[in-house]
């Protein structure tokens, strides 16, 4: 066998080492930020922190969690993630079901499909969208974070492909028993599609949690910023004028360890759902990309 | 339950052959329309109405005058865009950064998938996958914040370089050429693992008996890779590559916006960041919409061409 040959054994050794280094490179920045967040202020400012906390303290987390601006942004992020995901899933499920029907069963199917797919190919761009939101008076409302992204065409396509794999006999049996489409969807299709629904929900959640640009342009009042937008202003733009008023807050918020703690809290929910996500997403991606 | 089951068995034979054109069927289709209604309404409002707003690209738009009363200027904004060297430079930046990302973003996952495929211990394989997929799920705000910290003149990277090679701190995010390098490398870093998923799927679909036959013929692993593994990956590589072509004007707004600064504008400013600054910050709606429209049209042509090409070359369809 090839793997018993000497050159291949040498290759294997090198390969394992290389992949190990590569994996470490992928997580090292996160470990560094975690280490900084648990370190003492002086050590962090003097760049003494590598991958392990120096002068261990929870001070940065105390300050972060005592910052009402941070907590308010966290709450907005939770709201948009929960409501946004729920609404988006409901709309996508309701739309994917009719689109998964054959033309024989649903004549206008192709018309609808193109109506949605066209929006993936062409869009009005940022400025007309911005003007529309202004016209609709949706600035500074939670709706602007939830409604425009609710119809995810990509999720719709993934789900309709999944629905097509559901055995037709199940549906026919339900029809004969007198179930309508809505009933068939909720009591036949959804229970057998749980893995696909879990994947799409997790993706929607991650998407909402990470979204920052909509908050930045549509929230003129910083009190309505979701966490990602708040972090963008504090950590990337380093613009403290918008989010704090008290000078004592300013000192706390610009401190390096506090920034690290904020970054870490910002990504913590993703790290929590990640193991669940990983179990499903490989299937989801492959479902969309390399169909038989 | 039991009774309905029996009635099924009786009902099935007659029902199956019946044509579907009945009045009940027409009603059932209306139910399907109703289920699509929420998605249709939201798409009309948030996707199709803004397309109508594109008329602004041909106007000297003044918000207080509105669409109807603003002056029509024809293609003036487009002429202005293409005759101003700094603006043309923005288009070039977009193309250069996007092209580098597309090429690197194809080679890295391909190579990584090949190497990972040679790993025989499934525990090691899974651990590697867990770690390399992770950055894909973090936003550029988080990663931008981390990179700004690590790449600063006294950050972790410069410290490491100084300790290992004794070189002076590099101004990674303050020099245009280094900036492009950082943008491409950090994009590859974030996405190569996730991008490898489709390649790994293609690899796991290769029939093992091909390798067994090659083994019998005395081919070593390298020869097997060249004549079995790589040919088997060609279709999916063509699909991924052609679909990526649709992104040649998408240099990655989130990433650039969270990393760039005034020092690297000349080489790091891309169409999307430019539209944001000119449109939303400066309020020049007409001109910035025109720039956006240019991008949308080119993007549309490229995506349609890419999908047709992927269909022709590799028989790929999304739905």
Q: Are residues A228 and A134 in the same domain?
A: yes
Q: Are residues A37 and A125 in the same domain?
A: no
Residue numbers in A near B29 (CB within 8 A): 105-108
Contact A278 B130 (CB under 8 A): yes
| pLDDT over 90 percentage in chain B | 46
By the 8 A CB rule, do A217 and A226 touch? no
Range of the domain at B197: 76-314
Could you tell me which residue, A57 or B317, shows the higher pLDDT? A57
Q: What's the pLDDT at A67?
A: 87
> According to DSSP H, which parts of chain A are helical?
6-37, 41-45, 59-66, 68-99, 109-121, 126-135, 143-146, 153-164, 168-176, 181-184, 190-192, 194-210, 213-218, 227-231, 247-254, 256-289
Whether residue B203 is predicted with pLDDT greater than 60 in this model: the reply is yes
Among B120, B197, B275, whose Cβ lies nearest the Cβ of A126? Answer: B275
Contact B52 A25 (CB under 8 A): no
Give residue-wise pLDDT tens across range B75-95: 999 999 999 999 999 999 999
- The Cα B288–Cα B10 span in angstroms is 67
Whether residue B6 is predicted with pLDDT greater than 50 in this model: the reply is no
Contact A278 B275 (CB under 8 A): no
By the 8 A CB rule, do A51 and A32 touch? yes
The verdict on residue B198 lying in a domain is yes
Write the DSSP assignment of chain B as a string of letters: -HHHHHHHHHHHHHHHHS-S-SHHHHHHHHHHHHHHHHHHHHHIIIIIHHHHGGGGGGEE--TTTHHHHSEE-TTHHHHHHHH-HHHHHHHHHHHHHHHHHHHHHHHHHHHHHHHHHT---HHHHHHHHHHHHGGGGS-HHHHHHHHHHHTSTTSHHHHHHHHHH-PPPP-TTTSHHHHHHHHHHHHHHHHHHHHHHHHHHHHHTS-HHHHHHHHHTT--HHHHIIIIIHHHHHHHHHHHHHHHHTTTT---HHHHHHH--GGGHHHH--HHHHHIIIIIIT--HHHHHHHHHHHHHHHHHHHHHHHHHHHHHH-----
The verdict on residue B82 lying in a domain is yes
Look over chain B and give the mean of its residue pLDDT values, rounded to a whole number: 86
Q: Are residues A143 and A194 in the same domain?
A: yes
Among A26, A147, A173, whose Cβ lies nearest the Cβ of B134? Answer: A26
Q: Are residues A260 and A146 in the same domain?
A: yes
Q: What's the pLDDT at A244?
A: 57
**DSSP secondary structure code for residue A244 in this structure:** -
Query: Which of B35, B58, B307 best probes binding to A when mutated, by most A CB atoms within 10 angstroms?
Result: B35
The verdict on residue A54 lying in a domain is no
Lowest mean pLDDT among A78-82, A268-272, B34-38, B217-221: B217-221
Tell me which range, B12-16, B153-157, B315-319, is most confidently predicted by mean pLDDT: B153-157
Among B29, B224, B317, whose Cβ lies nearest the Cβ of A107? Answer: B29
CA torsion B185→B188→B189→B191, rounded to 10°? Answer: 160
Give residue-wise pLDDT tens across range B296-307: 999 999 988 888
Query: Which of A99, A124, A138 best probes binding to B when mutated, by most B CB atoms within 10 angstroms?
Result: A124
Residues A177, A180, A183, A189, CA torsion sign: positive
Among A151, A270, A286, whose Cβ lies nearest the Cβ of B201? Answer: A286
Q: Are residues A35 and A68 in the same domain?
A: no
CA distance B139 to chain A (A): 5
The verdict on residue B87 lying in a domain is yes
Among A151, A209, A236, whose Cβ lies nearest the Cβ of B148? Answer: A236
Range of the domain at A29: 2-45
Task: Name the nearest CA neighbour of B173 among B90, B278, B256.
Answer: B256
Q: What's the pLDDT at A102?
A: 87
Q: Are residues A37 and A110 in the same domain?
A: no
Q: What's the pLDDT at B1?
A: 34
Q: A256-289 vs B140-150: helix axis angle to the nearest 10?
A: 130
Report the b/e string of A244-281 with b at 16+ CB within 10 A: beeeebeebbebbbbbbbbbbbbbebbeeebeebbebb
Q: Does B135 touch chain A (CB under 8 A)?
A: yes
CATH number at residue B219: 1.10.3720.10
Q: Does B124 touch chain A (CB under 8 A)?
A: yes
Q: How far is CA B74 from the centre of its chain?
A: 32
Give residue-wise pLDDT tens across range B226-252: 999 999 998 888 888 888 888 888 889
Residue numbers in A near B66 (CB within 8 A): none
By the 8 A CB rule, do A91 and B42 touch? yes
Residue numbers in A near B319 (CB within 8 A): 113, 117, 157, 160-161
Among A112, A115, A128, whose Cβ lies nearest the Cβ of B289? Answer: A128
Partner residues linked to B72 by β-bridges: B59
Structurally, chain B folds into a number of domains equal to 1
Residues B9, B11, B13, B17, CA torsion sign: negative
Judged by DSSP in three states, A226 sits in coil
Residue numbers in A near B193 (CB within 8 A): 26
Whether residue B184 is predicted with pLDDT greater than 60 in this model: the reply is yes
The verdict on residue A71 lying in a domain is yes
pTM (2 decimals)? 0.86
The verdict on residue B107 lying in a domain is yes
The verdict on residue A53 lying in a domain is no
Q: Are residues A220 and A182 in the same domain?
A: yes
pLDDT along chain A (292 residues), means of 10: 80 93 92 91 81 87 88 95 96 95 87 92 90 92 94 90 86 87 90 86 92 93 92 82 61 77 92 83 56 38
The verdict on residue A40 lying in a domain is yes
Contact B50 A124 (CB under 8 A): yes
The verdict on residue B53 lying in a domain is no
- The Cα A242–Cα A222 span in angstroms is 6
A-facing residues of B in 57-96 (CB < 8 A) are: none
Residue numbers in A near B279 (CB within 8 A): 126-127, 130
- The Cα A286–Cα A7 span in angstroms is 34
Q: What's the pLDDT at B238?
A: 87
Q: Are residues A17 and A71 in the same domain?
A: no
Residue numbers in B near A120 (CB within 8 A): 303
Residues A107, A110, A113, A118, CA torsion sign: negative
Q: Are residues A252 and A276 in the same domain?
A: yes
Confidence of residue B18 (pLDDT cuts 50, 70, 90): very low
The verdict on residue B25 lying in a domain is no
The verdict on residue A246 lying in a domain is yes
A-facing residues of B in 225-264 (CB < 8 A) are: 236, 239, 253-254, 257-258
Residue numbers in B near A278 (CB within 8 A): 129-130, 133
The verdict on residue B60 lying in a domain is no
Contact B51 A123 (CB under 8 A): yes
Q: Are residues A112 and A215 in the same domain?
A: yes
> Stretch B138-163: mean pLDDT, rounded?
88
The verdict on residue B152 lying in a domain is yes
| Number of cross-chain residue pairs from A and B with Cβ atoms under 8 Å apart | 278
CA distance A209 to chain B (A): 9
Give residue-wise pLDDT tens across range B243-287: 888 888 888 999 999 998 888 888 999 999 999 999 989 988 999
Contact B145 A235 (CB under 8 A): yes
Q: How many Å is the Cα radius of gyration of chain A?
A: 24
Q: Are residues A86 and A128 in the same domain?
A: yes
Q: Are residues A107 and A165 in the same domain?
A: yes
Structurally, chain A folds into a number of domains equal to 2
Among A26, A32, A115, whose Cβ lies nearest the Cβ of B189? Answer: A26
The verdict on residue A50 lying in a domain is no
- The CA-atom distances, in angstroms, between A130 and each of A37, A219, A257, B252, B296 are 37, 12, 36, 19, 16
The verdict on residue A89 lying in a domain is yes
């Amino acid at each position: 066998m090839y793997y018993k040959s000497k050159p291949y054994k040498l290759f294997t050794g090198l390969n394992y080492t290389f992949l190990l280094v590569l994996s470490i490179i992928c997580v090292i920045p996160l470990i560094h930020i975690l280490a900084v967040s648990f370190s003492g202020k002086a050590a962090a400012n003097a760049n003494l922190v590598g991958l392990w906390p120096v002068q261990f303290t929870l001070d940065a987390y105390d300050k972060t969690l005592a910052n009402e601006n941070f907590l308010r942004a966290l709450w907005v992020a939770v709201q948009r993630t929960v409501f946004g995901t729920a609404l988006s899933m409901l709309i996508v499920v309701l739309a994917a079901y009719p689109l998964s029907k054959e033309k024989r069963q649903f004549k206008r199917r192709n018309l609808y499909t193109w109506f949605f797919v066209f929006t993936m190919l062409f869009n009005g761009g940022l400025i007309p969208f911005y003007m529309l939101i202004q016209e609709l008076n949706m600035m500074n409302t939670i709706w602007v974070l939830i409604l425009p992204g609710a119809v995810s065409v990509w999720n719709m396509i993934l789900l309709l492909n999944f629905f097509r794999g559901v055995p037709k006999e199940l549906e026919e049996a339900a029809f004969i028993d007198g179930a309508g489409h809505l009933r068939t969807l909720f009591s036949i299709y959804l229970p057998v599609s749980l893995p696909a629904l879990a994947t799409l929900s997790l993706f929607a959640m991650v998407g909402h949690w990470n979204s920052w640009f909509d908050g930045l342009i549509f929230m003129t009042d910083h009190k309505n910023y979701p966490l990602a937008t708040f972090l963008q202003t504090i950590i990337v733009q380093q613009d403290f004028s918008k989010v704090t008023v008290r000078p004592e807050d300013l000192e706390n918020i610009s401190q390096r360890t506090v920034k690290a703690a904020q970054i870490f809290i910002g990504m913590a929910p993703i790290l929590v759902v990640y193991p669940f996500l990983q179990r499903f997403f490989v299937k989801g991606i492959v479902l969309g990309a390399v169909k038989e | 339950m039991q009774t309905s089951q029996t009635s099924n068995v009786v009902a099935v034979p007659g029902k199956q052959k019946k044509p579907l054109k009945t009045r009940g069927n027409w009603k059932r289709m209306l139910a399907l329309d109703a289920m699509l209604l929420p998605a249709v309404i939201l798409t009309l409002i948030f996707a199709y109405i803004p397309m109508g707003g594109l008329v602004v690209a041909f106007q000297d738009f003044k918000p207080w005058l509105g669409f109807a009363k603003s002056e029509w200027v024809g293609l003036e904004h487009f002429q202005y865009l293409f005759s101003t060297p700094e603006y043309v430079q923005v288009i070039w930046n977009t193309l250069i950064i996007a092209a580098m990302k597309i090429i690197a973003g194809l080679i890295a996952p391909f190579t990584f998938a090949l190497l990972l495929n040679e790993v025989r211990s499934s525990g090691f394989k899974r651990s590697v996958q867990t770690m390399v997929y992770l950055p894909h799920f973090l936003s550029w705000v988080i990663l931008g914040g981390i990179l700004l910290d690590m790449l600063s003149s006294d950050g972790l990277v410069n410290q490491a370089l100084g300790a290992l090679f004794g070189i002076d701190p590099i101004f990674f995010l303050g020099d245009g050429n280094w900036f492009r390098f950082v943008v491409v490398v950090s994009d590859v870093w974030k996405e190569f693992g996730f991008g490898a998923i489709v390649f790994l799927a293609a690899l796991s679909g290769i029939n093992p008996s091909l390798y067994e036959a090659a083994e019998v013929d005395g081919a070593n692993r390298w020869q097997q890779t060249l004549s079995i593994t790589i040919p088997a990956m060609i279709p999916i590589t063509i699909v991924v590559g052609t679909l990526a072509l649709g992104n040649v004007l998408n240099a990655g707004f989130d990433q650039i916006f969270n990393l760039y600064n005034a020092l690297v504008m000349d080489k790091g400013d891309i169409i999307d960041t430019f539209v944001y600054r000119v449109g939303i910050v400066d309020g020049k709606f007409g001109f910035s919409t025109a720039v956006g429209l240019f991008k949308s049209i080119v993007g549309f042509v490229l995506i349609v061409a890419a999908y047709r090409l992927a269909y022709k070359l590799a028989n790929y369809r999304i739905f």
